[in-house]
């Protein structure tokens, strides 16, 4: 079930209503059933994969706690749990990729190998496996008590608002809240509705309209002039942001309706002044996951520059592969890592000094924001391209076709939607839409709601663009 | 809770205001962009049409080399020069689309009669769950009976089935496996899937005994297109029922135009069992609709010969001019009941070279007068590229005691040889006009004969009546050398 579907429009109010009508002891069961229904709406049989990872990690948690005084045994259970979870991820996500590369290599070596692997990636696999792993690691580290109630643990992995594209939750936040009694509060309904409305606006009105132009250009870059290709590249930056931010915001809102606070995933990332800051603001739940479970164990930043650079590259390459089983994703992660290292090296060599003039400071900040946006946009080409050839075609078309090719005919209203979004992003710097609305007079608030409702219903794209992060 | 109710009230007021704004400034643009089929009923209204023909590509497709590009509906119109006939033609559409389009015709429009294409294949799972369904269903969301803003909401939130091509195919395959085929006699396969698999595995073998892969695939396609049985719960039945109700409500005469299928090829490639199902489904539709007051079903199922079908490698109802004309003639005869004074007789149909048809009169054949009208051809009139002959007979029998058969008699220097093809296995119903079709190779015995005769022969005391005897020559296998075109 996707958030911008009629099924979800019917499903969510029923779940919320039942949640408040049922006594606390029955709520987990209702939410678990609802989450199963939500997930099985896509491909029912894939719930079995979820069940396998849930059983393994649930058991591992209890066994680790039971053998808390036996480090070797404890570690063995951790390794079994992590390896088996990663194995599931490997089989469903990476086996086909590895097989294709193996076949390609064999053919290059003149060997006649024709194996093929056709496995459809279960939706949201990378998200819930990472969420499951974070639980096991937290229990291993002693930061989290093992969950004894199988139902609550299953619900922690499967909680429908964030099941398929995150945010990747930690047990310390979500599992704890699942046990708490949630009273009906108008405030939660109001905040939840605001977030859902805003999320729908940025997904359905902004991202999906832009997506149509992006798809057009990426399918035939050579047919467009360089300005149009560059415009499509910039549009993709906004498309992927609005698409993912939109989903995360609806997830936040859906959980909030029932009183659950799940983690923020974005904080105006395109206002970042450098790549490091960008990753503090983009897909925060994934960045912090890699930070806590990969980067810190590798030594983090408290090591020599060379080792630190290696740590950074490992994290970013893993992050790239996490997104998709393709060389373009790996390359994308590597490029981000490399830029991160380069920026740090430059900062070390030429430390930034705050200018004396306020306006000069603002201008410099604007330039740095623009520079980061341009670089991120260039990197998104690797992310969006279907393969290296497509990536090359885009870059070539962007710099060699100024004279010829057709222009991308963007409807005026799409510029308006984009402008509205950019304005909202500026207004929401370091805050959230629900909180931002709080301080506004009622008339202003309701005018904003009315505008958003109208835009979502009457001006949304009618093309069916699945959420981009569903594929991960 | 009170706070919440006030908010809900405000939202309700806002929605009413938004609906007004949307209807006034946005709806028309959306309609033209996302539901362009709306232009079809609007055109019909603008033209003040009295008769409206609703069809899919069968209406407006013609052969590449044809000079006559007229639609079936235009040909119907020629029979009624004083009646304004219009059409709503949309490729791949079906009863649900027709119903939606008809609903858009205002109640005060001067429409009197509606002709709705009834395509037998559209009742099959392959079409019901066709890959085009997502686009077709999306087209009709804005045209539903809700306030415009509600329709736009349903469109925005994808209140129509969005499935990938693979998902649609999987649903159709599931039905082919699940839906049983109940024959009144022993039949080897229980469902379409089994039958299709058997054909794919066993292969189609030509007269030379060799497996022909291209024709095997075509035979499989025929099985998947026609091996089904219409039941009351078929989604198309629901839609056609709704059309009947709508026409009744509006006071429109209703003519269902059951399109001709390539029964010659179905018989040639798959055999009488497939024809049995096609006829059984036809009978179901006739029984269900033709018996209703002010509803007429024009039965064209087996009227058009293989040679008149443009697509020889698919089951589409795309006809050359002759085929379109045959159907238009049939529809015109049905319309005569509503416009007797406006009808203009255009005379007998003119057939193309190599196509001979006796029609318009009935022969009663029995032991006293056993021979039908006879086609006599000198063998040297057979064109060098003709490799097959399709023979179709429309016959009515009062019982099954007759010995009716098609005879091909070849007279040459070495005497006379006759070949007999029994009509009994194909025509089994009693008191009903039924077709039997044969596809025969034109071998050397045809060309070596001096003269060839084709006739129906019944030496029995039990009479039969023959009203159509149709012989068409064609190349051995009509390759898809010419492509169909659409006039839209």
Q: How many CB atoms lie within 10 A of CB B381?
A: 12
Residues A88 and A198 in one domain: no
Give me chain A's average pLDDT, please: 92
Q: Is residue A426 part of a domain?
A: yes
Is A189 touching B (CB cutoff 8 A)? yes
Cα(B396)–Cα(B411) distance, rounded to whole angstroms? 30
Is A186 touching B (CB cutoff 8 A)? yes
Q: Is residue A171 part of a domain?
A: yes
Chain segment B361-399, per-residue pLDDT in tens: 889 999 999 999 899 999 888 888 888 888 999 999 999
* pLDDT over threshold 80, residue A466: no
Chain segment A299-317, per-residue pLDDT in tens: 988 899 999 999 999 999 9
CA distance B28 to chain A (A): 12
Question: Are the Cβ atoms of A5 and B34 closer than 8 angstroms?
Answer: no
Q: Angle at CA B27, nearest 5°, toward B26 and B30?
A: 90
Is A119 touching B (CB cutoff 8 A)? no
> What is the chain A residue with the closest CA to B154?
A6
Q: Note whether A18 and A28 are within 8 A (CB).
A: no
State residue B385's pLDDT score.
81
Is A296 touching B (CB cutoff 8 A)? no
Q: Note whether B158 and A5 are within 8 A (CB).
A: yes
Sheet holding B388-396, edge to edge: B355-365, B464-474, B388-396, B434-441
Strand partners, B253: B113
Among A162, A184, A206, which residue terminates a domain? A184
State residue B477's pLDDT score.
58
Task: Please name which of A137, A135, A159 lies closest in space to residue A147, comparing C-alpha atoms.
Answer: A135
Task: Please name which of A155, A193, A198 lies closest in space to residue A174, comparing C-alpha atoms.
Answer: A155
State residue B358's pLDDT score.
86
CA distance A183 to chain B (A): 13
Sheet holding B451-457, edge to edge: B375-378, B451-457, B405-412, B415-422
Contacts of A6 in chain B (CB under 8 A): 154, 157-159
> What is the chain B residue with the closest CA to A188?
B4
Instruction: Express the helix, strand and coil content of chain B in percent, nearest 5 each.
Output: 40, 20, 40
Cα(B366)–Cα(B147) distance, rounded to whole angstroms? 66
The one-character DSSP state at B258 is E
Is B168 touching A (CB cutoff 8 A)? no
Given A128, A209, A283, A323, which residue is catalytic?
A: A323
Q: Note whether B455 and B425 are within 8 A (CB).
A: no
Helix (H, G, I), strand (E, B) or coil at B89: strand
**Residue A299 Ramachandran class (φ > 0 left, ψ -120 to 50 alpha, else beta):** left
Residue recorded with tokens 């057709």: A406
Mean pLDDT over B337-359 rounds to 85
* pLDDT over threshold 90, residue A191: yes
* pLDDT over threshold 60, residue B487: no
Q: Note whether A253 and A196 are within 8 A (CB).
A: yes
Q: Angle at CA B311, nearest 5°, toward B307 and B313?
A: 105
Sorting pLDDT into bands at 50, 70 and 90, what band is A253? Answer: very high
Mean pLDDT over B431-437 rounds to 90
Is A1 touching B (CB cutoff 8 A)? no
Which sign does the torsion angle of CA A20, A24, A29, A35 carry?
Answer: positive
Of A458, A462, A464, the CB nearest to B22: A458
CA distance B13 to chain A (A): 11
CA distance B163 to chain A (A): 10
* pLDDT over threshold 60, residue A194: yes
Residues A369 and A411 in one domain: yes
Chain segment A43-79, per-residue pLDDT in tens: 888 899 899 999 999 999 999 999 988 989 999 999 9
Q: Is residue A278 part of a domain?
A: no
Q: Domain of residue A122: give its range.
A: 6-184
Question: Are the Cβ atoms of A457 and B152 closer than 8 angstroms?
Answer: yes
The one-character DSSP state at B270 is T
Q: Number of Cβ pairs closer than 8 Å across A and B?
A: 50
State residue B425's pLDDT score.
87
Q: How many CB atoms lie within 10 A of CB A96?
A: 17
Of B11, B14, B156, the CB nearest to A462: B156
Contacts of A457 in chain B (CB under 8 A): 18, 22, 149, 152-153, 156
Q: How many CA atoms lie within 13 A of A142 on its CB side?
A: 5
Residues A15 and A133 in one domain: yes
Residues A67 and A209 in one domain: no
Question: Are the Cβ atoms of B158 and A457 closer than 8 angstroms?
Answer: no
Helical (H) or strand (E) element with B485: strand B484-486
Residues A160 and A197 in one domain: no
Contacts of A190 in chain B (CB under 8 A): 7
CA distance A147 to chain B (A): 35
* pLDDT over threshold 80, residue B291: yes
Mean pLDDT over B434-447 rounds to 88
Cα(B201)–Cα(A53) distance, rounded to whole angstroms? 42
Question: Are the Cβ atoms of B157 and A450 closer than 8 angstroms?
Answer: no
Q: How many CB atoms lie within 10 A of CB B179?
A: 18
Cα(A211)–Cα(A238) distance, rounded to whole angstroms? 9
Residues A225 and A126 in one domain: no
* pLDDT over threshold 70, residue A435: yes
Please indicate whether residue A149 is annotated as part of the active site: no
Cα(A243)–Cα(A4) distance, rounded to whole angstroms? 11
Q: Note whether B37 and B101 are within 8 A (CB).
A: yes
Q: Domains in chain B, start-ordered, CATH in brackets?
A: 35-124+215-349 (3.40.50.1110), 355-474 (2.60.120.260)
Residues A135 and A68 in one domain: yes
Q: How many CA atoms lie within 13 A of A176 on its CB side?
A: 10
State residue B482's pLDDT score.
37
Q: What are phi and psi of B260, to 5 degrees?
A: -75, 140
Is A442 touching B (CB cutoff 8 A)? no
Cα(B442)–Cα(B446) distance, rounded to whole angstroms? 6
Mean pLDDT over A348-373 rounds to 88
Give me chain B's average pLDDT, please: 90
Is B138 touching A (CB cutoff 8 A)? yes
Residues A115 and A134 in one domain: yes
Q: Is residue A315 part of a domain?
A: no
Helix (H, G, I), strand (E, B) or coil at A83: helix
Cα(A273)–Cα(A268) distance, rounded to whole angstroms? 11
CA distance A55 to chain B (A): 31
State residue B479's pLDDT score.
43
Question: Are the Cβ atoms of A458 and B152 closer than 8 angstroms?
Answer: yes
Contacts of A459 in chain B (CB under 8 A): 26
Output the six-digit token pair for B402: 């007759």
Q: Is residue A74 part of a domain?
A: yes
Tell me the CA distances in angstroms from A440 to A186, A209, A450, one per residue in order.
Answer: 17, 29, 15
Is A181 touching B (CB cutoff 8 A)? no
Q: How many CB atoms lie within 10 A of CB A272?
A: 20
Top mean pLDDT of A228-232, A321-325, B212-216, B312-316 is at A228-232
Chain segment B411-426, per-residue pLDDT in tens: 988 788 999 999 988 8
Question: Are the Cβ atoms of B22 and A456 closer than 8 angstroms?
Answer: no
Q: Is residue A130 part of a domain?
A: yes
Question: Are the Cβ atoms of B158 and A4 closer than 8 angstroms?
Answer: yes
Chain segment B128-183, per-residue pLDDT in tens: 999 888 988 999 999 999 999 999 999 999 999 988 888 899 999 999 999 999 99
Among A153, A168, A184, which residue terminates a domain? A184
Output the six-digit token pair for B50: 């009295």
Q: Is residue A164 part of a domain?
A: yes
CA distance B20 to chain A (A): 11
* pLDDT over threshold 50, residue B480: no
Question: Are the Cβ atoms of A454 and B34 closer than 8 angstroms?
Answer: no
Contacts of B162 in chain A (CB under 8 A): 464
Contacts of B11 in chain A (CB under 8 A): 453
Output the six-digit token pair for B483: 């492509």
Chain segment A116-150, per-residue pLDDT in tens: 777 778 888 899 999 999 999 999 999 999 999 99
Q: Note whether A368 and A276 are within 8 A (CB).
A: no
Sorting pLDDT into bands at 50, 70 and 90, what band is A273? Answer: very high
Cα(B174)–Cα(B299) distance, rounded to whole angstroms? 30
Output the six-digit token pair for B54: 């609703």
Tell me the CA distances in angstroms from A75 to A19, A55, A64, A184, one per residue in order.
Answer: 38, 18, 8, 42
Q: Is residue A148 part of a domain?
A: yes
Is A463 touching B (CB cutoff 8 A)? no
Residues A153 and A236 in one domain: no
Question: Are the Cβ atoms of B10 and A446 closer than 8 angstroms?
Answer: yes
Helical (H) or strand (E) element with A362: helix A358-384
Residues A179 and A199 in one domain: no
Q: Note whether A287 and A340 are within 8 A (CB).
A: no
Q: What are phi and psi of B17, to 5 degrees?
A: -65, -40
Among A184, A208, A234, which residue terminates a domain? A184
Q: Angle at CA A368, nearest 5°, toward A363 and A374?
A: 125
Q: Note whether B417 and B443 are within 8 A (CB).
A: no
Residues A52 and A171 in one domain: yes
Question: Are the Cβ atoms of B162 and A457 closer than 8 angstroms?
Answer: no
Residues A177 and A228 in one domain: no
> What is the chain B residue with the closest CA to A184?
B1
Q: How many CA atoms lie within 13 A of A428 on its CB side?
A: 23
Structural domains of chain A, count? 2
Interface test with B, best of A197, A411, A458 (most B CBs within 10 A): A458
Is B339 touching A (CB cutoff 8 A)? no
């Amino acid at each position: 079930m996707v958030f911008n579907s009629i099924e979800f429009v019917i499903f969510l109010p029923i779940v919320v209503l039942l949640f408040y009508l049922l006594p606390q002891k029955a709520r987990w069961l209702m939410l678990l059933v609802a989450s199963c229904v939500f997930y099985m709406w896509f491909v029912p049989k894939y719930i079995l994969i979820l069940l396998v990872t849930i059983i393994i990690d649930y058991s591992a948690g209890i066994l680790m706690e039971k053998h808390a005084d036996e480090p070797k045994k404890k570690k063995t259970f951790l390794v079994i749990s992590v390896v088996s979870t990663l194995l599931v991820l490997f089989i469903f996500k990476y086996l086909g990729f590895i097989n294709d590369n193996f076949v390609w290599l064999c053919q290059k070596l003149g060997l006649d190998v024709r194996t093929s692997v056709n496995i459809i990636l279960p939706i949201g696999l990378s998200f819930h496996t990472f969420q499951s792993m974070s639980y096991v690691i937290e229990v291993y580290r002693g930061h989290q008590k093992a969950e004894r109630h199988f139902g609550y643990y299953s619900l922690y992995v499967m909680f429908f608002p964030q099941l398929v594209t995150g945010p990747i939750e930690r047990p310390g936040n979500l599992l704890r809240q699942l046990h708490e009694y949630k009273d009906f509060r108008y405030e939660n309904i109001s905040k939840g509705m605001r977030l859902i409305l805003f999320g729908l606006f940025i997904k359905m009105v902004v991202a999906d309209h832009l997506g149509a132009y992006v798809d057009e250009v990426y399918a035939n870059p050579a047919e467009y002039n360089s300005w149009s290709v560059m415009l499509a590249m910039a549009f993709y930056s906004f498309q992927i942001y609005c698409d993912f931010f939109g989903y995360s915001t609806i997830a936040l809102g859906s959980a909030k309706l029932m009183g659950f606070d799940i983690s923020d995933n974005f904080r105006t990332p395109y206002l970042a002044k450098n790549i490091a800051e960008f990753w503090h603001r983009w897909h925060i739940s994934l960045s912090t996951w890699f930070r806590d479970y990969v980067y810190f164990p590798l030594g983090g930043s408290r090591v020599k520059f060379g080792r630190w650079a290696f740590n950074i590259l490992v994290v970013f390459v893993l992050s790239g592969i996490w997104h998709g089983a393709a060389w373009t994703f790996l390359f994308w992660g590597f490029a981000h890592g490399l830029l991160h290292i380069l920026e740090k090296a430059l900062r070390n060599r030429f430390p930034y000094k705050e200018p004396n003039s306020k306006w000069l400071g603002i201008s410099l900040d604007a330039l740095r924001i623009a520079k980061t946006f341009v670089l991120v946009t260039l990197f998104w080409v690797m992310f969006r391209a279907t393969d290296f050839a497509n990536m090359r075609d885009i870059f070539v078309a962007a710099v060699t076709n100024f004279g010829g090719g057709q222009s991308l005919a963007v409807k005026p209203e799409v510029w308006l939607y984009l402008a509205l979004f950019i304005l909202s992003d500026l207004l929401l710097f370091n805050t959230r839409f629900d909180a931002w609305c709080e301080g506004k007079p009622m008339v202003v608030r309701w005018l904003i709601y009315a505008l958003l409702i109208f835009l979502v219903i009457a001006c949304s794209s009618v093309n069916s663009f699945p959420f981009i992060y569903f594929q991960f | 809770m009170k706070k919440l109710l006030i908010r809900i009230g405000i939202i309700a007021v806002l929605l009413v205001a938004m609906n007004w704004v949307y209807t006034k400034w946005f709806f028309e643009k959306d309609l033209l962009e996302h539901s362009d089929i709306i232009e079809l009923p609007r055109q019909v209204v603008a033209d003040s049409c009295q008769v409206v023909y609703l069809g899919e590509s069968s209406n407006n497709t013609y052969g590449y080399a044809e000079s006559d590009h007229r639609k079936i509906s235009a040909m119907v119109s020629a029979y009624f020069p004083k009646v304004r006939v219009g059409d709503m033609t949309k490729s791949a559409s079906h009863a649900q689309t027709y119903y939606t389009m008809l609903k858009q015709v205002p109640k005060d429009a001067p429409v009197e009669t509606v002709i709705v294409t009834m395509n037998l294949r559209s009742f099959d799972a392959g079409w019901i769950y066709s890959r085009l369904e997502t686009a077709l269903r999306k087209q009709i969301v804005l045209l539903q009976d809700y306030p415009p803003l509600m329709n736009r909401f349903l469109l925005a939130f994808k209140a129509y089935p969005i499935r990938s091509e693979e998902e649609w195919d999987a649903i159709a395959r599931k039905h082919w496996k699940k839906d049983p085929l109940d024959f009144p006699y022993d039949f080897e396969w229980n469902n379409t899937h089994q039958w299709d698999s058997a054909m794919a595995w066993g292969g189609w073998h030509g007269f030379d005994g060799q497996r022909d892969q291209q024709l095997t695939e075509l035979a499989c396609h025929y099985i998947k297109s026609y091996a089904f049985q219409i039941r009351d719960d078929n989604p198309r039945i629901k839609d056609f029922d709704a059309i009947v109700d709508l026409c009744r409500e509006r006071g429109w005469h209703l003519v269902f135009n059951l399109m001709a299928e390539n029964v010659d090829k179905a018989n040639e490639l798959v055999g009488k069992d497939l024809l049995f199902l096609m006829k059984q489904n036809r009978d179901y539709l006739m029984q269900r609709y033709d018996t209703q007051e002010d509803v007429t079903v024009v039965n064209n199922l087996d009227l058009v010969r293989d040679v008149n079908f443009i697509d020889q490698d698919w089951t589409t109802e795309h006809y050359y001019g002759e085929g379109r004309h045959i159907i238009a003639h049939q529809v015109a005869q049905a319309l005569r009941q509503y416009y007797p004074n406006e009808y203009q007789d255009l005379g007998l149909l003119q057939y193309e070279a190599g196509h001979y048809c006796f029609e318009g009169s009935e022969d009663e054949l029995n032991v006293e007068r056993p021979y039908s009208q006879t086609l006599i051809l000198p063998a040297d009139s057979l064109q060098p590229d003709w490799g097959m002959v399709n023979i179709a007979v429309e016959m009515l029998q009062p019982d099954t005691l007759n010995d009716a058969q098609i005879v091909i008699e070849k007279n040459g220097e070495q005497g006379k040889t006759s070949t007999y093809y029994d009509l009994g296995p194909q025509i089994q119903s009693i008191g009903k006009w039924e077709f039997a079709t044969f596809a025969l190779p034109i071998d050397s015995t045809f060309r070596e004969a001096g003269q060839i005769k084709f006739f129906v022969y019944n030496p029995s005391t039990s009479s039969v009546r023959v009203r159509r005897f149709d012989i068409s020559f064609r190349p051995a296998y009509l390759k898809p050398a010419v492509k169909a075109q659409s006039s839209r």
